């Protein structure tokens, strides 16, 4: 039998493409150049980044929207630069494929002391380092097993929605591998209906029918569990009061009346009075649960997890959540369930505050409400760790909007390259006709000055690819969130002073034409209004950037509470 062959790299990139990666991020290096030759022939767009950490962040952002994201780096120096991004994807479950070009096999086998090594002839250090941040990895060494190995790790990536790593020696990208496998698309293991599923269903139905005051809580792991449609039906058909966590916010439509936004400590009494809380895709880190305050009581809650259903007295294992929810929706008698609603008419007390044109913008007197009303259908909103991330829980998101905010990893600098990733994913999905029937969409980034400085250069990639991105830079002269926590007057919470609004021009934005970038400086509400309604903002394309000048210690209420504690501690010393 004569095999139908394709080059190894072509095999990999074709697989990625068919899983939904239309663009791929990364940087060249002398161990991956031959690999890169195959990117565009396989129909993928190459997005060259400024550095590898940024490439990792961008791939992560892309993957959370499109269901897969990939980056290519070079051996040692490149891959290790990206480790923190991969760790974040691991922590918060983003399906990122990290592809690394390594030295040719002959060099590795002869233990030659080449560059990008520790000069000890050991080529496995970087594999061992990255085992901690991947659910699977493969070190490609021969053409026979390569396609099988590639398929295996890609499956693991999708199954766990966590990063995997594939290393390819520089002598291999062009070698022939079995291409016939490509005829079958990559599928995940299918569901085995376990007895446990029926048992779980029975238990859950019992709890539902007996509940008088039920509640739904949508958390962020619902995304990769692929259950958002089922959850949405459940929310609509039960009409039960529904909250999300910060991680879950934006995953279900907030515009329907029984969806009340993020469950915050102020809602605790209400939630505690419920006798059933069904939690979809729980992700209980302290930073996603207001330091644990918003974890529902064990005895009232049912957890719908990626591969199990957890009630207070049982864990039903090996259950695929999607399948379970479909059956639940099919058998549940909606006529038999309790109805009740929460009295949450006024979600935000400040909404009615009136502001004059000359009044300075602050985080407490209406900045966030005004920005919230700026958001549009289909927007992807990224609010960076810092004061912005806190505030974003209060946004009222339009339909089909998605929100990225601090969840568990909280690495500052993530959101800017992630915005590159999400904006590209919007463009790629619009090209495929898969973005909510919209023909254009924005990515909106809200970021503190400190976080901006971490990865600012990736703005140049956003500019270069003419992406539709609006940046709100909160200039409060340093690390305000840290000042609230500790060391409010300490020098280490300060940063250097940049002339932020010069960023677009420095990073190469055109001076004229459709993609000329526009910038605005905001101090007062009049400035803010002018910026948000300017026609270049409203109808502009490409990058738009707004700098909002805020006081050093201006922060959302919760953070100000910490600050007050700090001050009273100092006074008691």
48 binds, among ligand TPP, a copy of itself, none (CB under 5 to 8 A by kind): a copy of itself
83 binds, among a copy of itself, ligand TPP, none (CB under 5 to 8 A by kind): a copy of itself
Residue 50, burial from CB neighbour count under 10 angstroms (0-12, 13-18, 19+): middle
556 binds, among ligand TPP, a copy of itself, none (CB under 5 to 8 A by kind): none
At 281 the three-state DSSP class reads: coil
Closest CB 116 distance from ligand TPP, rounded Å: 7
Output the CA angle 542-543-544, nearest 5 degrees: 120
Residue 546 β-bridge partners = 472, 520
110 binds a copy of itself (CB under 8 A): no
241 binds, among a copy of itself, ligand TPP, none (CB under 5 to 8 A by kind): none
Write the CB contacts of 189 (distance below 8 Å, at least 6 apart in sequence). 155, 159
211 binds, among ligand TPP, a copy of itself, none (CB under 5 to 8 A by kind): none
Closest CB 552 distance from ligand TPP, rounded Å: 8
Q: What are phi and psi of 51, to 5 degrees?
A: -150, 170
Closest CB 402 distance from ligand TPP, rounded Å: 21
476 binds, among a copy of itself, ligand TPP, none (CB under 5 to 8 A by kind): ligand TPP
- Only one residue has tokens 């007057």, namely 489
430 binds a copy of itself (CB under 8 A): no
Binding mask 67-106 for a copy of itself (x = CB under 8 A): ---------xx--xx-xx--xx-xx---------------
Which residue spans within 103-244 are E strands per DSSP? Answer: 136-139, 164-169, 176-178, 214-218, 242-244
Which residue spans within 449-542 are E strands per DSSP? Answer: 469-475, 518-522
97 binds, among ligand TPP, a copy of itself, none (CB under 5 to 8 A by kind): none
Residue with Cβ nearer ligand TPP (88 or 261): 88
Residue with Cβ nearer ligand TPP (217 or 446): 446
- Only one residue has tokens 């909510």, namely 436
474 binds, among a copy of itself, ligand TPP, none (CB under 5 to 8 A by kind): ligand TPP
> What is the spatial distance between Cα 285 and Cα 219, in angstroms, rounded to a whole number?
11
18 binds, among ligand TPP, a copy of itself, none (CB under 5 to 8 A by kind): none
- Only one residue has tokens 């009075």, namely 273
> What is the spatial distance between Cα 443 and Cα 467, in angstroms, rounded to a whole number?
9
Is 478 part of any known ligand binding site? yes
| Paired tokens of 128 | 């061992």
| Paired tokens of 131 | 């085992």
Residue with Cβ nearer ligand TPP (156 or 167): 167
Q: Are 290 and 264 in contact (CB under 8 A)?
A: yes
Pairing mode, if any, of strands 314-317 and 276-280? unpaired
Closest CB 548 distance from ligand TPP, rounded Å: 10
Which DSSP letter does residue 255 get? Answer: T
| Subset of residues 203 to 262 that bind a copy of itself, contact rule: CB under 8 A | none
Distance from chain centroid for Cα 397: 16
Residue with Cβ nearer a copy of itself (468 or 480): 480
Residue with Cβ nearer a copy of itself (297 or 487): 487
Is 307 part of any known ligand binding site? no
Please report, as ranges, the residues that interact with ligand TPP according to CB under 6 A: 27-29, 52, 74, 77-78, 81, 384-388, 410-413, 448-451, 474, 476, 479-482
| Paired tokens of 528 | 């803010």
| Subset of residues 391 to 410 that bind a copy of itself, contact rule: CB under 8 A | 406, 408-410
Residue with Cβ nearer ligand TPP (56 or 542): 56
Count other Cβ atoms within 10 Å, centred on residue 496.
Answer: 7
449 binds, among ligand TPP, a copy of itself, none (CB under 5 to 8 A by kind): ligand TPP
At 26 the three-state DSSP class reads: strand
Is 476 part of any known ligand binding site? yes
Count other Cβ atoms within 10 Å, centred on residue 534.
Answer: 15
> What is the spatial distance between Cα 76 and Cα 117, in angstroms, rounded to a whole number?
7
- Span of 278-286, 306-314, 319-327, 345-353 interacting with a copy of itself by CB under 8 A: 278-286
Sequential DSSP letters for 481-493: HHHHHS-TT-GGG
Pairing mode, if any, of strands 23-26 and 259-262? unpaired
Q: Are 100 and 165 in contact (CB under 8 A)?
A: yes
61 binds a copy of itself (CB under 8 A): no
Residue with Cβ nearer ligand TPP (28 or 179): 28
Q: What are phi and psi of 25, to 5 degrees?
A: -105, 165
Residue with Cβ nearer ligand TPP (287 or 338): 287
530 binds a copy of itself (CB under 8 A): no
| Subset of residues 431 to 490 that bind a copy of itself, contact rule: CB under 8 A | 453-457, 460-461, 463-464, 479, 482, 485-487, 490
Binding residues for Mg(2+): 449, 476, 478
Binding residues: 449, 476, 478
């Amino acid at each position: 039998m004569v095999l139908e062959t394709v080059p190894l790299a072509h095999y990999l990139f074709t697989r990625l493409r068919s899983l939904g990666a239309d663009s791929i991020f990364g940087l060249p290096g002398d161990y991956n150049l031959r690999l890169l030759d195959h990117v565009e022939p396989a129909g993928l767009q190459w997005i060259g980044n400024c550095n590898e950490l940024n490439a990792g962040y961008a791939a992560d952002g892309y993957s959370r929207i499109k269901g897969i994201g990939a980056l290519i780096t070079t051996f040692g120096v490149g891959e290790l630069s990206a480790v923190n991004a991969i760790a974040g994807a691991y922590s918060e479950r983003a399906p990122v494929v990290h592809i690394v070009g390594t030295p040719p096999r002959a060099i590795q086998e002869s233990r030659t002391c080449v560059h990008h090594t520790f000069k000890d002839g050991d080529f496995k250090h970087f594999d061992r380092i990255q085992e901690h941040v991947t659910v699977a990895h493969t070190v490609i060494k021969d053409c026979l097993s390569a396609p099988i190995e590639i398929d295996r790790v890609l499956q693991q990536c999708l199954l766990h929605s966590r990063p995997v790593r594939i290393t390819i020696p520089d002598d291999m990208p062009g070698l022939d591998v079995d291409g016939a496998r490509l005829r079958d698309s990559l599928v995940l293991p299918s569901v085995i209906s376990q007895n446990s599923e029926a048992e779980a269903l029975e238990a859950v139905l019992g709890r539902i029918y007996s509940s008088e005051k039920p509640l739904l809580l949508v958390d962020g792991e619902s995304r990769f569990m692929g259950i958002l449609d089922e959850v949405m039906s459940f929310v609509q058909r039960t009409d039960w009061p529904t909250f999300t966590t910060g991680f879950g916010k934006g995953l279900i439509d907030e515009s329907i009346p029984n969806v009340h936004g993020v469950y915050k400590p102020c809602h605790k009494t209400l939630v505690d009075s419920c006798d059933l809380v069904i939690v979809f895709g729980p992700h209980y880190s302290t930073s996603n649960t207001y330091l644990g305050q918003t974890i529902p009581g064990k005895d009232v809650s049912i957890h719908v997890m990626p591969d199990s259903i957890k009630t207070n007295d049982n864990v039903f294992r090996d259950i695929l959540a999607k399948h379970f929810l479909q059956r639940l929706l099919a058998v549940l008698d909606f006529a038999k369930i309790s109805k009740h609603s929460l009295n949450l008419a006024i979600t935000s007390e400040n909404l009615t505050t009136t502001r004059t044109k000359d009044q300075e913008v602050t985080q407490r007197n209406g900045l966030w409400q005004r920005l919230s009303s700026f958001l549009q259908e289909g927007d992807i909103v990224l609010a960076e760790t810092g004061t912005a991330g806190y505030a974003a829980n209060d946004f009222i998101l339009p339909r089909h909007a998605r929100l990225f905010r601090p969840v568990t990893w909280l690495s500052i600098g993530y959101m800017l390259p992630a915005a590159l990733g999400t904006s590209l994913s919007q463009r790629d999905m619009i090209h495929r006709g898969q973005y909510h029937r919209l023909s254009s969409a924005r990515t909106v980034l809200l970021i503190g000055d400190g976080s901006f400085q971490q990865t600012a250069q990736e703005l140049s990639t956003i500019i270069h690819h003419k992406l539709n991105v609006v940046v709100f830079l909160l200039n409060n002269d340093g690390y305000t969130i840290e000042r609230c926590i500790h060391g409010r007057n300490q020098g280490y919470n300060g940063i250097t002073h940049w002339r932020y609004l010069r960023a677009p021009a420095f990073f190469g934005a055109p001076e004229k034409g459709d993609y000329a970038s526009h910038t605005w400086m905001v101090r007062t509400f009049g400035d803010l209004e002018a910026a948000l309604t300017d026609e270049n903002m409203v109808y502009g394309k490409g990058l738009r950037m707004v700098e909002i000048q805020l006081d050093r210690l201006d922060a959302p209420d919760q953070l100000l509470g910490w600050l007050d504690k700090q001050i009273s501690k100092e006074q008691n010393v």
